Amino acid sequence: MVYVEGCIFCQIAQGKIPSDVVFETDKLIAFRDIHPKSPVHILIIPKNHVNPRLDLTQQDVETLPEIFLAAKEITRKEGIGERGFRLIANVGPESGQEVEHLHFHILGGKRLGPMG
């Protein structure tokens, strides 16, 4: 695994920072956002540090199906899979990305307005 010193998500993946983990495999970890934007707000991250703007490799891309399968399982367990949810990845500062470590947000648990 590649970890970046000072990356909060790498520290969570290593267990150095506590988090409310809802799903974990050898490659991924998913946990509740500490500043939720909806009743269900969960982040899915690869344990391996990936900056989506700078160093996305073929191996990183091959992790994407696992992220989508994790989202399917998480939303089922959270009771929002059938009702609907958002799965969002922000990339770069203009998108609102705050941590430069590839991550996806699962948002749900209420009617979400249009994006824009």
Contact yes or no for 60/50 (Cβ under 8 A): yes
Q: Is 103 a catalytic residue?
A: yes
**Cα–Cα distance for residue pair 30/73, rounded to 1 Å:** 11
Residue of 49, 101, 103, 105 marked catalytic? 103
Which helix (H) or strand (E) covers residue 76, if one does? Answer: helix 64-78
Question: Which residues are catalytically annotated?
Answer: 103
